[in-house]
């Protein structure tokens, strides 16, 4: 059995990790950790685990905790892991980090967008960006995984097939994205109160959202050259889900058949990316609670642009599910182990 530990287990992503790992036949949860709830019973914080999880919340002494498990998931604020990770720790345990600390390879770029100093830039080159559909082979050999952000996962998977084929102009990409409120975390914030969110939709982080450089970097690797784009997220009054609608101008003459073939070729062997039938638009309700991403595409011949669409659950494929998918690859397991649950509806 693989022994796993979760630092930041009392956040929404940490809670989802616990739920998924409980159903994983090859994993035992060794401990859960939380700075805010140290010493409290985990099932007293999340009562859905009453009589299921009998663990107290440990503190966040990373070096000591690493002695007890084979893999650590860090569902923590930006800067936590970067301030503590060391060669000694990585020699003991594999780490899947759900923060942004190791997603951006340029420490200066990270510091510019996140406003904090990167304490361990020496590990940036080693860390593997954990988008399994793109970096599968690199992930298998890694010690440190940078689990992708929810918006970048949906954006990159929605756009990648046409970028890879050179069908769209990278300089013309615009991404309009919408997320449920769980994406903002569990912390008490006025902007996330029911009365503030309900019956309203708003854009936020306009032109400054921190996932922008992550999306640009990953699409740039696929395009083979730097990408600069517009990314605008919106908050929707629902618990879970991300919907991305991305636009780009075609770079050359193309057809509906070529565009569709690009998606089918790219994702034909991918269990968790579903290319929908022609004319069917992705919806968050059909991926909720699952590790699936639904994508589709439409060529607008009138304007010479392509509309690329994707939907996922921000807490599963956008966070915890993808982290488990990465863990499976790290330990040579079936990539889908523990993640085969179909989407739940209603």
Nearest alpha carbon to residue 262 among 157, 167, 174, 156: 167
Phi, psi of 2 (to 5 degrees): -85, 125
How crowded is residue 137: how many other Cβ atoms within 10 Å of its Cβ? 8
Query: How many CB atoms neighbour CB 307 within 10 A?
Result: 16
Residues 192/338, Cβ–Cβ less than 8 Å: no
With beta carbons less than 8 A apart as the criterion, state whether 67 and 43 touch: no
Q: Estimate the crossing angle of helix 321-330 against helix 12-22, to 10 degrees.
A: 50
CA distance 162 to 222: 10
Is the CB of residue 310 less than 8 Å from the CB of residue 155? yes
- Asked if 305 and 326 count as a contact pair (C-beta separation under 8 A), the reply is no
> What distance lies between CA 340 and its chain's CA centroid?
17
Is 281 among the residues known to form the active site?
A: no
Catalytic-labelled residue, pool 57, 150, 154, 266: 150
The tokens for 263 are: 């998606």
Q: Report the catalytic residues.
A: 150
């Amino acid at each position: 059995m693989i022994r796993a530990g979760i630092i930041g287990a009392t956040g929404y992503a940490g809670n989802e990790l616990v739920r998924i790992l409980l159903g994983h036949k090859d994993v035992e949860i060794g401990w859960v950790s939380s700075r805010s709830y140290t010493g409290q019973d985990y099932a007293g914080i999340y009562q859905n685990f009453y009589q299921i999880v009998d663990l107290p919340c440990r503190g966040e002494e990373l070096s000591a905790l690493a002695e007890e498990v084979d893999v650590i998931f860090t569902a923590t604020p930006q800067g936590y892991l970067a301030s503590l990770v060391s060669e000694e720790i990585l020699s003991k345990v594999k780490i899947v980090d759900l923060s942004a600390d190791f997603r951006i390879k340029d420490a200066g770029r990270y510091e510019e967008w996140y406003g904090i100093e990167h304490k361990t830039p020496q590990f940036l080159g080693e860390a593997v960006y954990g988008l399994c559909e793109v970096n599968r082979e690199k992930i298998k050999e890694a010690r440190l995984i940078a689990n992708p952000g929810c918006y970048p996962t949906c954006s990159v998977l929605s756009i990648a097939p046409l970028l890879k084929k050179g069908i769209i102009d990278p300089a013309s990409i615009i991404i309009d994205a919408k997320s449920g409120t769980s994406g903002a975390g569990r912390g008490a914030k006025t902007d996330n109160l029911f009365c503030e969110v309900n019956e309203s939709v708003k854009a936020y982080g306009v032109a400054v959202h921190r996932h922008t450089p992550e999306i640009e970097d990953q699409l740039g690797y696929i395009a083979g050259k730097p990408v600069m784009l517009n990314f605008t997220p919106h908050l929707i009054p629902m618990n879970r889900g991300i919907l991305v609608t991305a636009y780009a101008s075609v770079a050359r003459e193309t057809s509906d058949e070529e565009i569709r073939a690009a998606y089918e070729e790219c994702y034909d062997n991918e269990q968790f990316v579903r290319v929908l039938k022609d004319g069917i638009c992705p919806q968050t309700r059909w991926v909720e609670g699952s590790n699936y991403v639904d994508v589709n595409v439409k060529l607008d011949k009138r304007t010479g642009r392509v509309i690329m669409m994707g939907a996922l659950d921000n807490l599963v494929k956008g966070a915890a599910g993808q982290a488990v998918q990465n863990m499976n690859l790290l330990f040579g397991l079936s990539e889908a182990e523990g993640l085969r649950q179909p989407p739940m509806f209603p």
